[in-house]
Amino acid sequence: MIARLPSLPDYEAFRAWRGDTARWLSVAHDIAHGHGLSCDAPHVFATGTNLVVGLGDDLILKIFPPCLRPQFFSERGALTELRGRLGIPIPDIVAEGERDGWPYLVITRLSGVLGSDAWPLLPEGERERVLAEIGAVIADVQHVPPGALLAIEPRWDAFLRGQIAQCRARHERLGLPQKFLDGLDDLLRDAAALIPMDAPPVILIGEYIPENFMLMCRGGKWHVGGLFDFGDVQTGWCEYDLLGPSAFMAAGHPRRVRSLFEGFGYSRADMTFALKRRLMALMLLHRASDPLRHICIAGWQDKAANLSDLAQLLWPD
């Protein structure tokens, strides 16, 4: 009997269901065999949003629940638009299809060491080099014409207005300390003027974080060796993609911050009060914004008295 994928009401139901791999691994086997691919020793990735299975050393199968179908379209569209246009590897699409209303992709597996495994072990100089390369990768991606990705909804202006409308409630729920909430309304009032709403949109990956990079060591020096996971791709204002590496990797170290921004194409003269205020607004409006859990600066809550202090802490001169 051919295994089937269920109809689930929402993402929470999917999360609860996906934990028991016995419920769906046979489907992954069947999909792989249907494309003539081996699935004799599948590796189930426990992290990530969708069902992700390694098919040997060379391929990855990603199965998207119907409630996350937009991520399938973003991933497929981004891989198509970016193919052959970047200086670093990204996955190639080997096969695609749909099973019981669940779309899937089979993509190539990148070589190297997962960034989240390598980053904590890198010497400081290597971290600065990698951050400069990440800044350059962001710029390279944003030089690629968005093409069909412009159709991804919501469009930037609608996305930003929606984020502004629910921002305070979100951060109250996530426990942002009151001293930062006190300045939030003023920042939100200025956000629509601070952040360009209708500038020519660029491709935004949304998550330039260690978990989505492969790093490689060549000649004793570490480099960005690949980029993957394009399920959150949208189009919009370029600086949005500086937030992930700012919070998770630069972490308020002046030389790291400068390396990231110089790789992106910004000079020290560009690091103005207006830029920092705009970045602070964007960080609080980010789709995944959660400062308490994402800002990797030890004791940052005690080091900043307000949002302006926090911006200076994240992006020092």
Q: Which helix (H) or strand (E) holds 201?
A: none
Is residue 256 located within the same domain as residue 143? yes
In a domain, 302, yes or no: yes
Cα distance between residue 48 and residue 211, in whole Å = 9
Is residue 94 located within the same domain as residue 216? no
For 25, the token pair is 């691994």
Counted domains in the chain: 2
In 3D space, the residue among 161, 141, 144 whose CA is nearest the CA of residue 244 turns out to be 141
pLDDT classification of 4: cutoffs 50, 70, 90: confident
Cα distance between residue 253 and residue 298, in whole Å = 11
Q: Are 109 and 61 in contact (CB under 8 A)?
A: no
Is residue 3 predicted with pLDDT exceeding 90? no
pLDDT in tens, 246-293: 999 999 999 999 999 999 999 999 999 999 999 999 999 999 999 999
Is residue 17 predicted with pLDDT exceeding 60? yes
pTM of the model: 0.94
Last residue of a domain, one of 57, 79, 108: 108
pLDDT in tens, 112-157: 999 999 999 999 999 999 999 999 999 999 999 999 999 999 999 9
pLDDT in tens, 307-316: 999 999 999 9
Is residue 128 located within the same domain as residue 97? no
Q: What is the CATH number of the domain that holds 103?
A: 3.30.200.20
Is residue 117 located within the same domain as residue 83? no
Last residue of a domain, one of 74, 108, 142: 108
Is residue 276 located within the same domain as residue 253? yes
In a domain, 251, yes or no: yes
Cα distance between residue 51 and residue 62, in whole Å = 6
Last residue of a domain, one of 85, 108, 131: 108
Classify residue 248 by its DSSP letter.
I
Taking each helix axis as running N to C, give the angle between helix 156-173 and helix 184-194, from 0 to 180 degrees, rounded to the nearest 10.
170
pLDDT in tens, 33-70: 999 998 888 899 887 789 999 998 899 999 999 999 99
Cα distance between residue 248 and residue 28, in whole Å = 33
In a domain, 34, yes or no: yes
pLDDT classification of 1: cutoffs 50, 70, 90: low
Q: What is the CATH number of the domain that holds 134?
A: 3.90.1200.10
Look up the domain containing 200 and give its range: 113-314
Is residue 180 located within the same domain as residue 63? no
In a domain, 213, yes or no: yes
Triad 235, 238, 241: Cα angle to 5°: 85
Triad 72, 73, 76: Cα angle to 5°: 80
All residues at 6 or more sequence positions from 145 whose CB lies less than 8 Å from its CB, including other chains:
81
**Average pLDDT value for the chain:** 95
For 48, the token pair is 């990530």
Cα distance between residue 2 and residue 20, in whole Å = 18
Is residue 138 located within the same domain as residue 80? no
In 3D space, the residue among 203, 205, 163 whose CA is nearest the CA of residue 184 turns out to be 163
In a domain, 23, yes or no: yes
In a domain, 1, yes or no: no
Is residue 47 located within the same domain as residue 79? yes
Is residue 25 located within the same domain as residue 127? no
What is each CA distance from 6 to 10, 13, 24, 54, 69, in whole angstroms? 12, 11, 9, 22, 15
- Kind of pairing between the strands at 102-108 and 202-204: unpaired
- Tallying the residues shown for the chain, one arrives at 317
Residue-level pLDDT at 216: 97
Q: Write down the residue that tokens 């992290």 correspond to.
A: 47
121-156 as b/e: b if 16+ CB within 10 A? ebeeebbbbbbbbbbbbbbebbebebeebeebeebb
